[in-house]
Amino acid sequence: MYSYISLEVECPICQKSLMDKKKLVDEMPSIKLIVSANDSKGTIRLSSFYGSYNYLADIDITTDKEYTFTCPKCKTKLESDIKCDECSAAFVPLNIKGGGAVRFCTRAGCKKHHVGFEDLSNIHSYFHEKLDENVIVASYTKEEAEKHKELIKSGTFLRIYCPHCKKSNIEKGSVIFRILNENNETGYLMLSPYLNLFTNESTIFIPEAAVVKDIQCPNCKTSFLAKDMTCKDCGSPAVEVSVSALTKLFDFYFCSKKGCHWHSLDENDLKLIMLEDNDY
């Protein structure tokens, strides 16, 4: 599997965007730079997908040759004191919009590059924002789709989001839901955000084996009860939320009946992902 996250970058000198929305590479806006070596000079458009080495150039790019890269806006040479630890060529630094930097090697054919964040808190915020955009791609070959699945292990922290308002349902170490019981009383249900850990608390009484009448987002009050999914173990209505545990958001279902530990993913996601079972 190849997981690509699209980066939106800027010139580290003039802070202007280097993204070219008219010329696409990998079907996404490309990173436009001036490239030169000796008497050869032209324009190169790099893939904005981190992990992809595709590009478009109007000059011939020779493998193993070092090139100079210049900002097309301020015409400043982009260079770094950091050297590639694989081939000793210079790195080109680019700023990531919103914080951080990406650096890539100036030697054609060398695949060394890395992303860095000065403030580690920017890592979560940057990738969290990208989860709401169509900039994360997980592509499988036919053979990989049949033979390989990502395994989400028991105990994995699942970042739970409302599929409607996209806000997080995690608060103080618990997943928070607004619930309605069979007596039409409203309250809040707190569940563990860790896969296969079934601890729970509620502010209103829910009898054992009872099915909640409704379970909602505490932010937008929209119901989480799935229209086309029921529990495969007891037949009760399933609850649908969005979960982020890998590089994308996927639909996650669990049973609305107290004491039932059934949970599952969408059938399409199950082709790529496995949940580790736990009898507890």
At 241, the amino acid letter reads: V
Name the phi and psi angles at 246, rounded to 5.
-120, -120
Domain ranges of the chain: 2-139, 147-275
Cβ neighbours of 161 (radius 10 Å): 22
Residue 226 is classified by DSSP as E
pTM over 0.85? The answer is no
Name the phi and psi angles at 72, rounded to 5.
-75, -10
Q: What is the pLDDT of residue 114?
A: 59
Q: Which residues contact 266 (CB under 8 A, 6 or more apart)?
A: 250, 251, 253
Cβ neighbours of 25 (radius 10 Å): 19
Residue 186 tokens, joined: 């409203």
Identify the bridge partners of residue 244 per DSSP, sorted by sequence position.
159, 249
Express each pLDDT in 254-267 by its tens digit. Answer: 888 888 888 887 77
pLDDT below 70 — which residues of the chain? 1-5, 51, 113-155, 244-250, 268-280
Residue 89 tokens, joined: 């060529």
Q: How many residues does the chain have?
A: 280
Express each pLDDT in 49-82 by its tens digit. Answer: 776 788 899 999 998 999 999 999 999 999 888 8
